[in-house]
Structure 1
Amino acid sequence: MNPFFNCKGTKLTGSLFRPLLTTSDRQLLRLFMEGLDTIAYWHRSGRFIPGILPIPTHTLASNGYVDAMSELILNSRLPVGLVAIGMSSIPGSENLDACKKGLLRLRRLGVLLHFLNYSGSIAELHWITEMQLEGVHIDMRTIREHDLASNERSQLRQSPCSPTQLYASNIGLVTDLENASTLIADHAYGGLMMAPLSRHQMRQINDSRITKAIFSMHPHQRLNHNGDK
C-alpha cells in the first residue's frame, strides 16, 4: 500500500492499494476483495484509513464486474467514505455511457471516485467536472517538466463547495513537495514521503511521529508558500 499524508506531513489520510494497478481481469475481483478486507482490517483495529482501489476503465463499463464489486462492497459493511474507486484513464466513446452508469451505481453505495493520472487535458477536465470526482491525482514527475497553468488549477477547484481534492503523487524530490505546495494539494504520497507498506505496518503508523520521520530529511519551512509553517 502507498500511504497518503497531508502536504505538511502531519496526518495519515489514506492509502492506494497497489496490487490492483497491475492486475489482470481474471484476478481483479479477488484482489478487489483483498483490498476491501485490508480496509476492514484497519477499521476493526480502530483505524479509519480510507483506501483507493484502482479499477480498469473497461471493467467499470461491465455490468457483470460492477454487480460483483457492488456485492463485495455491500458485504464488507464498511462505513461510507472508506472505499474509493480509482480510474487510470477516461473512458472511450464506445463505453462512455456504460462507464458512467457503472460509476453512478457504485457511488450510490457510498463509494468515492478518483482519477489517478490527470495530465491536464480538456477531455479529462470535462470528465472530472461532469462526474464531480472526489479526488484527482497529479504526477509530480510530470509537473517538474510541465507546470499546470493557474487557470487549470482554478478549474479543478471550481468552488468552495466542489468535492474534488488534489493528490500529489510520486513525490520523489524536495522540489516535488514544493510543487505540491504551489498546487495547494490536499494530499501527497511517494517515496520521499514514505515507501509502500504492508497493511500491518499501515495500521501501526502513529500520526504524531509522521512529521518527524518525513521532515527529518529536509526543512519544511519553505514548503508552504502562503507563509504558514
Structure 2
Amino acid sequence: MSPKSRLYTLVKAWKNKPFQEVRDACGDPWLGLSSQALEEHQSWSKRQAISHEPIFNCKGTKLTGSLFRPLLTATDMQLLRLFMEGLDTIAYWYRSGRFIPGILPVPSHAIASGSYVDAMTELILNSRLPVGLVTIGISSIPESDATGAFKEGLLRLRRLGVLLHFLKFSGSIEELHWVTEMQLEGVHIDMGKIRERQLASDVLSQLRQSTYSPTQIYASNIGLVKDLERASKLIADHSYGSIMMSPVSRHQMLQIDDSRIAKAIFSLHPHPHPNQNGDK
C-alpha cells in the first residue's frame, strides 16, 4: 500500500470514528441511530439541503449565527439524526475557518428525557467543537410534572459549554421566570406576532435588567420593512427572517459576504442624506 493510500485510509477512519462511537454508546432503535439512519445521514449531507437560516446583527452588517430549521419539525425518530447533522454542519464551518454558531432546536420533552440527553451529550462531546458554537433552542416551557427533569437536562447540557435559547418567547410570566432563573443566553421574539400584539415594555426591561445580563434578544420572522423598524425599537441584538436572507445550504453559508448583505438590507430604508452614489 502506498503512503498516499495509507493516509487516505487513516483520514477516512478518523472522519467516521465519532459517528461509530455515538452509535455504540446510544444506539437504541427508538432513538433513531440505527445503521440505516447513519447511511441516510451521510447521503443527506451530500444533498446539501437548504435548511440553514442565517442570523445577523440587527443592522445586517455581520453574520452572527444560523438556525437549523429541520429540527423545528423533527419527529422523535428523526431528532438525533438531525441533531447529528446540525453538529456536523457547525463542524464543517469551523473546519473551513468560519466561526458560525449554530442553534439546534430541541423539544422540551427530549430535554426532560435522560436517554435523549445522554445521546445528545455523546454527540456534542464527539463533535469536539469549541465552547460557544453549539446552542440548544427551547421551543416551549415544560409541563409541570416534567419540571425537575427538564432543569436537570438543561444543566447537564450547559456543563458541556452549550448555550441555551428560548425560541418562541411570547412574554408570559412563566416564560420570563424560566429565562431569568436559568439565565438563558438568548430570547427569540417573533416579529410577525408582534404585529398583532404589542409586547409589554416591562417584559423587555426585565429581560435587560442588568447590563451584565447574558440574555440577548433575537428578532425572528422578519418579513416586512416595518418588522426591521420594530426590531430596532426593541433594541434587538440579532435579526433573521426572509427580508434578511432566506435559508441556504451549509456550503452557501460560507459564501455569505457580510458587506453585501448589509448593503442589500440598508437599501430598503430611505436615507435622508445619500452620497453621490445614493448609498447609505
What TM-score do you get using the length of structure 2 for normalisation?
0.77
> Which residue is equivalent to 1:147?
198
> Which residue is equivalent to 2:257?
206
Over the matched positions of the two proteins, sequence identity in percent amounts to 77
Residue type of the partner of 1:40?
Answer: A
CA distance in 1, matches of 2:270, 2:206: 31
SS of 1:184's partner is coil
Tell me which of 52, 55, 59 is aligned to 2:110. Answer: 59
- What value does the CA root-mean-square deviation take over the aligned residues? 1.2
Tell me which of 133, 151, 162 is aligned to 1:82. Answer: 133
Residue type of the partner of 2:234?
Answer: L
Residue type of the partner of 1:8?
Answer: K
- What is the 5 A alignment of 1:2-151? 2-151=53-202
Highest RCO, 1 vs 2 (Cα 8 Å, sep ≥ 6): 1
Tell me which of 240, 243, 264 is aligned to 1:192. Answer: 243
Greater helix share, 1 or 2?
2
SS of 1:117's partner is coil
Say how many residue pairs are matched.
Answer: 222
List runs of 5+ in structure 2 lacking aligned partners.
1-51, 273-279
Residue type of the partner of 1:59?
Answer: A
Encode CA deviations 1:174-219: one digit per residue, 9 max, x unaligned: 1100000010000000000001111111011112222112223333
List runs of 5+ in structure 1 lacking aligned partners.
222-228
CA distance in 2, matches of 1:171, 1:165: 17
SS of 2:232's partner is helix
CA distance in 2, matches of 1:111, 1:220: 40
CA contact (8 A) 1:63 1:102 kept: yes
Q: How much has 1:220 moved relative to structure 2?
A: 6.6
CA contact (8 A) 2:225 2:268 kept: no
Q: Which has the larger radius of gyration?
A: 2
> Which residue is equivalent to 1:226?
none
Runs of 4+ in 1 over 4 A off after TM superposition: none
